[in-house]
């Protein structure tokens, strides 16, 4: 059994005034131990990250030995991958910083240059089997004119970005003939154009195929420069963090779950979501 996790870390390197006034610290240095405790508790084999700054990555890597976490870091800008170096060999990888342009449409769709994907082809040391894991963070604005974050064609831009990743994964699967997991902050819910475009190409959502358990919460709660609040599960269909798979054997996903303990709430606005899979 392998545990594959997606975790958006909230890109925040320095403490914020509102947090300091409450006697709290939301800096990367202060939050890194919290992430390490979660990883030590859940023991994921592979973690696809989003909103991971270089500082946060450094803080995590320095702390991992003290927590007994044998992770190697595959750097991918704000979307790196952590994998257990005692269980996997890295065979291949690909990275893309999504272009600012969405062909045929005006405007920038990666104006902060933080939206990207990273893929890793991993070989299990125990049995030689291969697995492809991809982490991504897609464009964030809304296509709804009534939204304060409205930008025309944002939904189409997300689907276009995900298409670039799926093209890369198609090529890797053709080469390595193994299952692929695509995860991350899609900034799009279950019924969105983005997920529909993936399902049209044969991708299945891990929530739908989990044989033993599937969490039905949305996985998102308030945690920003003004402070944080408790998690209210809400509706799964509104979740922004997705895990999908393609080319997997029957019964591949056993469990689709989230970490929603109180100690996580000041760490990030996105709860870690993971799957337990069998190759």
Q: What is the DSSP letter of 37?
A: H
Model pTM greater than 0.85?
A: yes
Please tell me the total number of residues recorded for the chain in this structure.
279
% of the chain beyond a pLDDT of 70: 100
* Total number of domains constituting the chain: 1
Contact present, 138 and 184 (Cβ < 8 Å): yes
Locate 133 and state its tokens.
């894991």
Contacts of 208 (CB under 8 A, 6+ apart): 214
Contact present, 270 and 220 (Cβ < 8 Å): yes
Contacts of 95 (CB under 8 A, 6+ apart): 76, 77, 116, 117, 118, 119
CATH number assigned to the domain comprising residue 37: 3.60.10.10
What is the structure's pLDDT at 259?
98
Residue 224 pLDDT class (50, 70, 90 cuts): very high
Residue 3 pLDDT class (50, 70, 90 cuts): very high
Average pLDDT, the chain: 98
Expressed as residue numbers, the domain containing 209 is: 2-277
% of the chain beyond a pLDDT of 90: 100
Mean pLDDT of 256-274: 98
């Amino acid at each position: 059994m392998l545990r594959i996790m997606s975790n958006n870390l909230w890109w925040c390197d320095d403490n914020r005034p509102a947090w300091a006034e409450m006697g709290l610290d939301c800096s990367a240095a202060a939050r890194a131990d919290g992430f390490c405790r979660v990883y030590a508790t859940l023991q994921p084999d592979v973690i696809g990250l989003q909103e991971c700054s270089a500082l946060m990555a450094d803080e995590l890597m320095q702390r991992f030995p003290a927590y007994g976490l044998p992770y190697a870091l595959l750097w991918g800008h704000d979307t790196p991958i952590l994998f257990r170096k005692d269980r996997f060999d890295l065979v291949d990888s690909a990275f893309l910083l999504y272009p600012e342009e969405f062909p045929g449409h005006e405007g920038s769709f990666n104006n902060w240059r933080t939206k990207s994907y990273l893929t890793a082809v991993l070989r299990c040391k125990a049995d030689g089997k291969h697995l492809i894991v991809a982490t991504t963070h897609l464009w964030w604005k809304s296509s709804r004119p009534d939204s304060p974050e409205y930008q025309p064609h944002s939904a189409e831009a997300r689907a276009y970005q995900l298409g670039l990743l799926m093209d890369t994964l198609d090529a890797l699967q053709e080469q390595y003939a193994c299952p692929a997991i695509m995860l991350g902050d899609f900034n799009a819910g279950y019924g969105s154009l983005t997920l529909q475009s993936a399902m049209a190409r044969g991708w299945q959502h891990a929530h739908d195929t989990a044989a033993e358990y599937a969490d039905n919460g949305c996985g998102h709660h308030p945690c920003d420069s003004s402070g944080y609040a408790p998690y209210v599960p809400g509706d799964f269909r509104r979740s922004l963090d997705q895990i999908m798979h393609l080319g997997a054997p029957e019964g591949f996903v056993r469990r689709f779950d989230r970490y929603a303990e109180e100690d996580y709430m000041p760490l990030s606005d996105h709860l870690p979501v993971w799957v337990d899979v069998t190759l």
